[in-house]
Amino acid sequence: MTEESAHAHSDAIVFFGATGDLAKKQIFPALYRLVREQDLNVPIIGVARQGWKLDQLKERATDSLKEHGISPEGEAFEHMMQLLHYVDGDYKDPATLAGLRRELGAARHPLHYLAVPPSLFATVADGLAKSRSADGARLVVEKPFGHDRASAAALEAVLLRHFPEQSIFRIDHYLGKEPVQNILYSRFANPIFEPIWNRTHVQSIQITMAEDFGVEDRGRFYDETGAIRDVLQNHMLEVLAMLTMDPPTGEEHEAERDQRANLLKAVRPLDPAHVVRGQYEGYHAVPGVRPGSTVETFVAVRLEIESWRWAGVPIYIRSGKRLPVTASEVLVILKRPPRETFGEIVPAWSSHLRFTLSPDVSVGLGLRVKAPGERMVGRDTELILTRQPGADRPPYQRLLGDAMRGVSELFTRSDLVDAQWRIVDPVLDNVCPLYPYAGGSWGPQEAAQMIAHDGPWHDPRPGGPSDDGGH
């Protein structure tokens, strides 16, 4: 890749899988907002093997925008429709890629977005190279990046045959979410946190990502994936990295990713004894789920970071479907003073810092204040700064815009992917027992037993502080 290509703004967007669900749910709305708010003015070329014409793709895009509350009228809508092109055909057919090359015209630095199953990544990458559509181009791929550590390495080898590392943008949309970015900003923009952000002052850390809905219409996909691969290996470990990484040094574009990688490489691989897998009752009735499936819909783990900063600090992460609420939060529990001056019995979680990632965006500081009266006794309270996330830029808009400019900070890198798989590889594929749990509960009781020494779990409550009683 030339120096010019590395810094050039993409002059066309190509998205394979243009007729699929991801395009309808995320890509079309993101492209519209880029046109409306960031003056996107390059050819947008959809590629699929659906037997469609351009008018049908435009109809699909219109339906997508309507579903997102966007009126199919106005200057931005009309301009987006003018930018749309379509190439139909099998990705394995050289004629399809030759047709794409013709549609690209004079474009020298296209952005190719692979919104297709990972099994097709190699086919598309090979076709782009043979048609000379990969020259000077960038490649965007969606997770999952492999199915385990070995398959991820094999996938990397395929992509690197045709694209240099700096031209590959691996999307984990969680990194583009404003609340996740808020963790990093709050840590390093406020000097009060850094002196206490270590094993001397932090008792334990909890990260929860809860969903009150089930697998729904994703039965086939989910039954090949499960909670460990779907969210723990990527989303949850990325949040952990942002929460616990050292400050980026210098102003190089790679500085932040370097520190995330260093942190994840220091995380000890998961011990099956510190993993609880669960499956909600009724999962087997979901269309697409295999009879007798042992895929987990809930996972809780205990992690440790082998670094001077975090040695000995237990980190608990859990995620699941059919839980009581849909909410995500991070809770950093601070150590109590070595002696309680007023002789009270104070809960260990009394002093804490809480980041709510969804549905609201908030930062809460847990404090103990004196209760009214003559006695020197207190009560726990939380100072909360809350705002609604409605004004946030949607993650796909942010990430697509960054990829077009060659800005890679919010994308994951090959060594980051490998570090994530290294952590979860020992507990993949039924290594750990599977426990049933009732829908609407907080998962199997074994998760509560796992955290008993450092717990209990603090259950997110949308719009307010965590509950203080766990299960």
Compute the distance between CA of residue 308 and CA of residue 185 in angstroms, rounded to an integer. Answer: 23
Cα–Cα distance, 432 to 450 (Å, whole number): 13
Give CA–CA dist 247/220, Å, rounded: 41
Which residues partner with 434 through β-bridges? Answer: 277
What is the phi/psi pair of residue 261, to 5°?
A: -65, -45
Catalytic residue, from 235, 284, 352, 453: name it. Answer: 235
User: What pLDDT sits at residue 469?
Assistant: 42
Angstrom distances, CA of residue 467 to CA of 242, 332, 348: 24, 15, 14
For residue 366, give the nearest of 335, 412, 344 by alpha carbon: 335
For residue 327, what are the β-bridge partners? 210
Spell out the per-residue pLDDT of the chain, length 471, in tens. Answer: 554 555 689 999 999 999 988 899 999 999 999 999 999 999 999 999 999 999 999 999 999 999 988 888 889 999 999 999 999 999 999 999 999 999 999 999 999 999 888 888 889 999 999 999 999 999 999 887 889 999 999 989 989 999 999 999 998 888 888 888 889 989 999 998 999 999 999 999 999 999 999 998 888 889 989 999 999 999 999 999 999 999 998 767 788 999 999 999 999 999 999 999 999 999 999 999 999 999 999 999 999 999 999 999 999 999 999 999 999 999 999 998 888 877 777 787 789 999 998 888 888 998 888 888 888 888 888 888 776 665 567 888 999 999 999 988 888 899 999 999 999 999 999 999 999 999 999 999 999 999 999 989 999 975 544 554 443
What distance in Å separates the CA atoms of residue 82 and residue 73, rounded to the nearest whole number? 13
The model's pTM: 0.90
* Token code pair at residue 191: 């000097």
pLDDT of residue 462: 58
The long-range contacts involving 22-28, CB below 8 angstroms and separated by at least 24 positions, are 22/115, 22/142, 23/60, 23/64, 23/115, 24/60, 24/63, 24/64, 24/67, 25/64, 26/173, 26/396, 27/113, 27/115, 27/396, 27/400, 28/60, 28/61, 28/64, 28/65
CA distance linking residue 156 with residue 146, whole number of Å: 9
How far is residue 241's CA from residue 13's CA, in Å, rounded to a whole number? 31
Tell me which residue has tokens 């204040």: 369
User: What is the secondary structure of 166-188 as a DSSP string?
Assistant: GGEEEE-GGGG-HHHHHHHHHHH
Those residues whose C-beta lies under 8 Å from the C-beta of residue 158, and which sit 6 or more positions away, are 121, 122, 125
Residue 274 annotated as catalytic = no
| Contact (CB, 8 A) for 338 and 228 | no
Gyration radius of the chain's alpha carbons = 24
Phi, psi of 214 (to 5 degrees): -100, -155
